[in-house]
């Protein structure tokens, strides 16, 4: 019995040490006074989309640390790549932390789960990554610093059509983001005279898409477009594309732009990704100085989301409502591009093609 | 055009069917490797060891650490991994489950403890290795071998063969050795077994050692065949559990058969249904079996006097 207690105590101590070790960059804790404005960051720091979530958190923290506002306190919440966790996190931040503005969530379904709570409590929610078209109409308090899927879907369909493909296969994650983007590409590509020869889905986070890919192979497409928002699934399915021997050229949405896929080596050479315009050189330098790696997808967008909130607070806004009003008025050149929120809280943004060449993501010139 | 292909009985459709069966076998063998260890532990201990999933993931990360980072030769890495996995499993039993059992904890408490262990170590792995996806990179990703219209990689063939060998050895061990017979006796009726002098704790030790060593093998193969992320254990465990329930959770060969059936049903099912239904097929099967045949296809009723 004593050994058991010792082990439990050891585990607890280990847990505390480990969490303390990584907590130092997470919060800029200041004395909580009544005039403190609490700002939240939420996203998937664990679970299938953790790789994006941590990058976005780092990006947003960079902005808050730089601004170093004495009247702002930052709290973070892990939404574990799960929709229900996003609602729980939002509720907690609203009722316990009394936040006025939040940067997050990343996955569209999670942002949409948190949105009604934010809207109802007059808390600003700025997503750095949710591209589902539904986010546009989620409410007045809901913003995003990444352009919506309409833009990307149309860009992707046009790119594929311009490249001369007429038979396209789609493989996408079975959620709001995947279904939304696939619908837009299907509509646009068909209108441009192409044909969708295979339409397959998989559950986010799953790692076995062999039968879906077998069906795609059987349909003999000229190109395959992949929509993925979890890195573990992206790696698994790109590997299986090669193993099953699909001859089609492989394209994908910006979710594929994650360092892990480069480890697949030669088999991902030539994979082409439609991606939002790259981050500014200045931000890239800053991020690398701070974290020692190139900014992953969504870090710049999160930085811009945080910057927008900081600018609103610097302009004198203290409540969610005031921050919201300030956001609709502002305009600035951010790390991810020009930021000006339209009446839906969306930004325009541009797209580029990124290709895997010699084990690196290379932006193709227009 | 599209519909013609789907409905015709041309060579193409048969190839599609054959490939899907193979896909089902590959998926099934991974489920079965997870399920066999899990059901071995369940059958002798009678509680849900959900932390079995973390044994698999920990083994995968051990391969990544020892082989990809430290640079220990691959086969040595595999041996170390299996041994450490077995010890890890035994440690979980001795340090967490057994003390709880001695305090009179019910099986529900042990289930909660196992979920706690799973969550704890998932987070430890994330802190140690980061949240990103890891690849072991022992085998270069390349197009599989095509034979009679069916494509399979060498590794997948190896996985199938290794699983079959392991399952035969496991079966022989359970049927032919004294320890194996004692384990079956405990799983059949643990009270009766202790009356005739079988040491339950020793049997539990052995079941955790062997079950977790199997998790080690599964972890190595998963690390090679898929890729590693800290939270993959939950998914593996859910599918392994489903496979075990379908085949008979308290009977190891049953859980292996169930896992293969699950893999086949998932992959053949989405030939007909839209692929979004893949998980729905798995969980519909789970519910149907829990409702109508809770002991699974080959499972035995607890406490049944057999032979």
Backbone angles phi, psi at A175, to 5 degrees: -145, -175
Residues A128 and A50 both lie in one domain = yes
In a domain, A275, yes or no: no
Label residue A148 by pLDDT band (50, 70, 90): confident
In a domain, B4, yes or no: no
B99 touches chain A (CB under 8 A): yes
Q: Are B27 and A210 in contact (CB < 8 Å)? A: yes
B124 touches chain A (CB under 8 A): yes
A218 touches chain B (CB under 8 A): yes
Residues of B in contact with A244 (CB under 8 A): 19, 143-144, 151
In a domain, A161, yes or no: yes
In a domain, A136, yes or no: yes
Residues A32 and A127 both lie in one domain = yes
pLDDT by residue (tens digit) across A210-232? 999 999 998 999 999 999 988 88
pLDDT by residue (tens digit) across B176-185? 999 888 888 8
* Model confidence at A28: pLDDT above 50: no
In a domain, B47, yes or no: yes
Label residue B16 by pLDDT band (50, 70, 90): confident
Residues A139 and A31 both lie in one domain = yes
In a domain, A197, yes or no: yes
Q: Are B23 and A211 in contact (CB < 8 Å)? A: yes
In a domain, B63, yes or no: yes
pLDDT by residue (tens digit) across A249-262? 999 998 888 888 88
Q: Is A329 helix (H, G, I), strand (E, B) or coil?
A: helix
Residues A119 and A63 both lie in one domain = yes
Entry pTM: 0.78
Residues A137 and A35 both lie in one domain = yes
Q: Are A207 and B227 in contact (CB < 8 Å)? A: yes
Residues A84 and A194 both lie in one domain = no
In a domain, B171, yes or no: yes
DSSP state of B283: H
CB contacts under 8 A, A 230-259 vs B, are 231-232, 234-236, 239, 242-245, 258-259
In a domain, B12, yes or no: no
Q: Could you tell me if A260 and A237 are in contact, meaning their C-beta atoms sit under 8 angstroms apart?
A: no
Chain B residue with minimal CA distance to A210? B23
Residues A237 and A287 both lie in one domain = no
pLDDT by residue (tens digit) across A111-138? 999 999 999 999 999 999 998 888 989 9
In a domain, A236, yes or no: yes
B96 touches chain A (CB under 8 A): yes
Residues A133 and A214 both lie in one domain = no
Q: Could you tell me if B35 and B258 are in contact, meaning their C-beta atoms sit under 8 angstroms apart?
A: yes
In a domain, A261, yes or no: no
Chain B residue with minimal CA distance to A204? B276
In a domain, B106, yes or no: yes
Of the candidate ranges A35-39, A55-59, B257-261, B298-302, the one whose mean pLDDT is the lowest? B298-302
Q: Are B135 and A243 in contact (CB < 8 Å)? A: no
Structurally, chain A folds into a number of domains equal to 2
Select from B132, B153, B279 the Cβ nearest to the Cβ of A260: B132
pLDDT-above-90 percentage for chain B: 53
Backbone angles phi, psi at A197, to 5 degrees: -90, -20
B133 touches chain A (CB under 8 A): yes
In a domain, A365, yes or no: no
Report ipTM for this prediction: 0.82
Of the candidate ranges A239-243, B144-148, B159-163, the one whose mean pLDDT is the lowest? B144-148
A292 touches chain B (CB under 8 A): no
Q: Could you tell me if B28 and B259 are in contact, meaning their C-beta atoms sit under 8 angstroms apart?
A: yes
State the average pLDDT over residues A146-156: 88
Residue to test with chain B: of A85, A232, A359, most B Cβ within 10 A: A232
Domain carrying residue B283: 29-139+150-292
In a domain, A157, yes or no: yes
Q: Is A105 helix (H, G, I), strand (E, B) or coil?
A: coil
pLDDT by residue (tens digit) across B89-101? 999 999 999 999 9
Residues A43 and A113 both lie in one domain = yes
Q: Could you tell me if B64 and B255 are in contact, meaning their C-beta atoms sit under 8 angstroms apart?
A: no
Burial of A109-137, coded b for 16+ CB within 10 Å and e otherwise, reads bbbbbbbebbbebbbbbbbbbbbbbbbbe
Distance CA B26, CA B30 (A): 7
pLDDT of residue A24: 42
Label residue B234 by pLDDT band (50, 70, 90): confident
In a domain, B39, yes or no: yes
Residues A227 and A332 both lie in one domain = no
Domain carrying residue A236: 149-256
pLDDT by residue (tens digit) across B85-135? 999 999 999 999 999 999 998 889 999 999 999 999 999 999 999 888 888
Distance CA A80, CA A83 (A): 8
* Model confidence at A29: pLDDT above 60: no
β-bridge partners, A252: A226, A273
Residues A29 and A142 both lie in one domain = yes
Beta-carbon count within 10 A of B5 CB: 15
Structurally, chain B folds into a number of domains equal to 1
Q: What is the CATH number of the domain that holds B125?
A: 1.10.3470
């Amino acid at each position: 019995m004593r050994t058991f207690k010792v082990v439990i105590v050891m585990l607890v101590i280990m847990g505390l040490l480990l969490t303390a070790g990584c907590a130092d960059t997470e919060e800029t804790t200041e004395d909580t006074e009544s005039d403190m404005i609490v700002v939240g960051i939420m996203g998937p720091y664990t679970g299938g989309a953790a790789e994006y979530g941590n990058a976005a958190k780092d990006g947003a923290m960079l902005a808050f640390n730089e601004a170093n506002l004495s009247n702002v306190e930052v709290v973070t919440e892990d939404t574990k790549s799960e929709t229900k966790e996003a609602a729980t996190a939002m509720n907690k931040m609203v009722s316990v932390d009394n936040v006025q503005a939040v940067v997050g969530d990343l996955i569209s379904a999670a942002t949409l789960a948190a949105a009604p709570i934010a809207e109802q409590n007059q808390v600003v929610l700025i997503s750095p990554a949710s591209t589902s078209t539904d986010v546009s109409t989620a409410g007045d308090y809901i913003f995003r610093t990444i352009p919506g899927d309409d833009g990307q879907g149309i860009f992707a369909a046009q790119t594929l059509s311009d490249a001369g493909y007429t038979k396209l296969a789609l493989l996408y994650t079975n959620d709001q983001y995947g279904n939304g983007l696939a619908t837009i590409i299907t509509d646009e590509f068909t209108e441009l005279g192409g044909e969708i020869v295979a339409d397959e889905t998989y559950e986010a986070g799953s790692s076995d898409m062999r039968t879906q890919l077998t069906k795609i192979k059987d349909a003999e497409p000229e190109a395959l477009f992949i929509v993925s928002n979890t890195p573990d699934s992206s790696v698994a399915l790109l590997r299986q594309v090669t193993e099953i021997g699909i001859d089609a050229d492989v394209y994908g949405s910006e979710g594929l732009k994650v360092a892990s896929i480069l480890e697949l080596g030669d088999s991902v050479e030539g994979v082409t990704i439609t991606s939002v315009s790259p981050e500014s050189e200045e931000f890239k330098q800053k991020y690398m100085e701070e974290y020692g790696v190139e900014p992953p997808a969504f870090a710049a967008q999160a930085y811009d989301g945080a910057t927008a909130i900081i600018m609103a607070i610097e302009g004198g806004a203290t409540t969610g409502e005031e921050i919201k009003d300030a956001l609709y008025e502002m305009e600035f050149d951010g790390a991810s591009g020009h930021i000006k929120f339209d009446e839906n809280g969306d930004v325009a943004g541009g797209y580029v093609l990124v290709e895997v060449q010699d084990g690196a993501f290379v932006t193709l010139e227009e | 055009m599209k519909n013609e292909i789907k409905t015709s009985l041309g060579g193409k459709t048969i190839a599609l069917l054959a490939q899907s069966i193979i896909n089902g076998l590959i998926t099934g063998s991974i489920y079965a490797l997870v399920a066999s260890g899990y059901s071995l532990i369940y059958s002798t201990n009678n509680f849900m060891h959900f932390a079995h999933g973390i044994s698999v993931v920990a083994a995968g990360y051990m391969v990544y650490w020892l082989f990809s980072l430290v640079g220990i030769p691959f086969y040595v890495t595999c041996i170390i991994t299996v041994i450490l996995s077995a010890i890890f499993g035994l440690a979980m039993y001795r340090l967490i489950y057994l003390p709880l059992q001695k305090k009179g904890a019910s099986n529900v408490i042990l289930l909660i403890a196992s979920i706690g262990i799973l969550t704890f170590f998932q987070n430890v792995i994330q802190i140690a290795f980061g949240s990103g996806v890891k690849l072991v990179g022992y085998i270069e990703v390349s197009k599989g071998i095509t034979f009679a219209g069916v494509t399979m990689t060498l590794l997948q063939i190896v996985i199938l063969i290794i699983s079959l060998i392991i399952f035969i050895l496991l079966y022989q061990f359970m049927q032919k050795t004294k320890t194996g017979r004692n384990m079956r006796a405990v799983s059949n009726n643990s009270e009766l077994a202790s009356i005739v002098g079988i040491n339950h704790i020793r049997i539990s030790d052995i079941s955790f050692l062997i079950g977790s060593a199997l998790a080690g093998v599964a972890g190595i193969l998963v690390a090679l065949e898929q890729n590693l992320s800290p939270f993959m254990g939950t998914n593996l465990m859910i599918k392994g559990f489903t496979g075990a329930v379908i085949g008979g959770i308290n009977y190891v060969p049953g859980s292996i058969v169930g896992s293969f059936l699950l893999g086949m049903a998932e992959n053949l099912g989405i030939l007909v249904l839209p692929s979004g239904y893949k998980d729905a097929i798995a969980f519909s099967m789970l519910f149907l079996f829990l409702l109508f045949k809770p002991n699974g296809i080959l499972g035995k009723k607890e406490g049944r006097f057999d032979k």
